[in-house]
Amino acid sequence: MAIEVRIPTILRSYTDGQKAVEGSGATLDELFKDLDGRHPGIRERLVDEAGGLRRFVNVYLNDEDVRFLEGITTGLGDGDSVTILPAVAGGRA
């Protein structure tokens, strides 16, 4: 099950400069664990100690903010696209 993950500039040091990588997982949480296997350290930048999404990181499934879906437990399917971004205007206070 291939999921395209778009990586922001600030995290490309973990992906050898790649703008997008592929990963797999039935949920976002599984996807981040899968990515961390090939790009060690990236998960820690995205997930906090409590296992939730970090405050100033936004993650989008097919352009939709996962915080309005099921957060880190949001389900994924083949061909989905995940975008990781720093929070911008309208991000969480």
Partner 1 sequence: MRYDSPLAAVGNTPLVRLPRLSPSEDVRIWAKLEDRNPTGSVKDRPALHMIEQAEKDGRLTPGCTILEPTSGNTGISLAMAARLKGYRIVCVMPENTSAERRELLAMWGAEIISSPAAGGSNTAVKVAKELAAEHPDWVMLYQYGNPDNAGAHYATTGPEILADLPSITHFVAGLGTTGTLMGVGRYLREHVPGVRIVAAEPRYDDVVYGLRNLDEGFIPELYDESVLTTRFSVGSEDAVRRTRELLSSEGIFAGVSTGAALHAALGVARKAVRAGESADIVFIVADGGWKYLSTGVYTAESTEAAIEALHGQLWA
Contacting partner 1 (CB under 8 A), which of 47, 57, 76, 82?
A: 57
CB of 43 to partner 1, least distance (A): 14
Map residue 14 onto helix, strand or coil.
helix
Which residues pair with residue 85 across a beta bridge? 58
Contact call for residue 17 and partner 1 (CB under 8 A): no
Query: What is the amino acid identity at position 7?
Result: I
**Is residue 6 within a helix (H) or strand (E), and if so which, with residue range?**
strand 3-6
Which residues are at the interface with partner 1 (CB under 8 A)?
Answer: 9-10, 45, 54, 56-58, 60, 62-65, 67-69, 83, 85-93
